[in-house]
Amino acid sequence: MKKTKFSWALTLAVFCLVFAFVGCPEAKPTVIRSMVGIAIKTQPDKLTYTHGDTFDLAGLEVTLIYDDTTEEYITVTDFTTKNITTSPEQDDTLVHLTHNNQPVTITYNDIPQLAATTNNLTVNPKVITFAVDSILAQTYTGNSLTPDVTVKDNTEILTLNTDYTVEYINNTNAGTATVNVTGTGNYTGSSGSTTFTVIPPSDIDIGSPSVRIYLNGSTIPLTEGGSTQITAGTGTYGVSIATGIYSQIIWYLNGSIVPQWGNRTAVVLTKRVGGTYLVTVETIAGGARNTGTHIFVVE
């Protein structure tokens, strides 16, 4: 038992002497590198897009340059761990007016001095046939009608004068008006169209036109829809509207349109041969149409 205690004491004494003369080995200092630059090693695989496409960084590689002259090559998959960001970012939606002819900027730790740019992106306008919502019928007012138009790219509602312009055609009188849509900005080259109906106003009464006939300037009494006998060769017969204010007057003789008599709302009947003549006057105001007729017989 005493021998064991002595051995342990001797061992401890020897260890202390060795430690005092030799000491512990020194630890080597850790070398810390600082990044001083970043450069594009490989361009992204895809640099050409269409407005609305999703951006893809695939293929992009950069070189990190350190202050000890060493370099490190990294791919997109390592950007997050290396605190590297890009603008635009992966999967961003590209906009023609924003991103076309602009590079991708790669930045380390949000330090502007540690950034690099790729070649410029090409983001072309999106050329489509617009979806144009139908327009409710519009009531005649005497003025050009320009109802609002809803234009879409699929389900996305677009902005007038930013994404498209409109042109209205035949949009005053009763009938069918046309709206032509032309793309601009991000949608240059796109187009679309729709129509709407202009209906006559319900509160305007243009009256029922009556017809008068003249023989050498003298009025001959007529009955609406009746008939009058006239002797052939006795003069020139003129027919005119007796009542009503109209925006358009159309004359028919036996179903054929005949020209107006100068600036007067009348037509001259130069035929004075025997036969039956049906005179029809069609009047138009605000798209509403009325007619007046008379039959006369030349013997």
Contact 98, 92 (CB under 8 A): no
All structural domains of the chain with their residue ranges:
35-124, 131-199, 211-298
The residue among 253 and 9 whose pLDDT is bigger is 253
Measured distance CA(239)–CA(219) in Å, rounded? 9
Q: At 4, phi and psi to the nearest 5? A: -65, -45
Answer whether residue 118 shows pLDDT above 90: yes
pLDDT one-digit tens code per residue, 163-183: 999 999 999 887 899 999 999
Measured distance CA(164)–CA(156) in Å, rounded? 13
- C-alpha separations of 273 from 107, 234, 270 in Å: 97, 10, 9
- Taken as a whole, the chain contains a residue count of 299
pLDDT, mean of residues 269-297? 62
Measured distance CA(170)–CA(176) in Å, rounded? 7
Nearest alpha-carbon partner for 88 in 107, 113, 75 = 107
Answer whether residue 82 shows pLDDT above 70: yes
Residues 35-124, CATH architecture: Sandwich (2.60)
CA 14 to centroid of chain Cα atoms? 93
Which string of b and e fits 197-224 if b means at least 16 CB within 10 Å? Answer: ebebeeeeebeebbbbbbeeeeeeebee
Q: Residue type at 108?
A: Y
pLDDT one-digit tens code per residue, 207-234: 555 556 555 556 655 554 555 555 555 5
Contact 287, 199 (CB under 8 A): yes
pLDDT, mean of residues 128-154? 93
Answer whether residue 103 shows pLDDT above 60: yes
Average per-residue pLDDT in the chain?
Answer: 78
Answer whether residue 135 shows pLDDT above 50: yes
Contact 140, 198 (CB under 8 A): yes
Measured distance CA(69)–CA(66) in Å, rounded? 5
- C-alpha separations of 209 from 48, 82, 246, 247, 288 in Å: 68, 88, 10, 13, 13
Confidence of residue 271 (pLDDT cuts 50, 70, 90): very low
Of the listed ranges 75-84, 103-112, 174-183, 236-245, the one predicted with least confidence: 236-245
Q: What pLDDT was estimated at residue 133?
A: 97
* CATH class of the domain comprising 131-199: mainly beta
Query: For residues 70, 71, 77 and 79, what is the CA-based torsion angle, rounded to 10 degrees?
Result: 80
- C-alpha separations of 255 from 154, 243, 291 in Å: 50, 22, 13
Domains 35-124 and 211-298 share a fold: yes
Please give the CATH superfamily to which domain 211-298 belongs: Immunoglobulins (2.60.40.10)
> Looking up tokens 């509403």, which residue turns up?
288
Question: Token pair of 277, please?
Answer: 């003549």
Contact 211, 241 (CB under 8 A): yes
Q: What pLDDT was estimated at residue 195?
A: 97
Task: Assess whether the previous peptide bond of 44 is cis (omega < 30° from 0).
Answer: no
- C-alpha separations of 150 from 126, 133, 155 in Å: 18, 6, 11
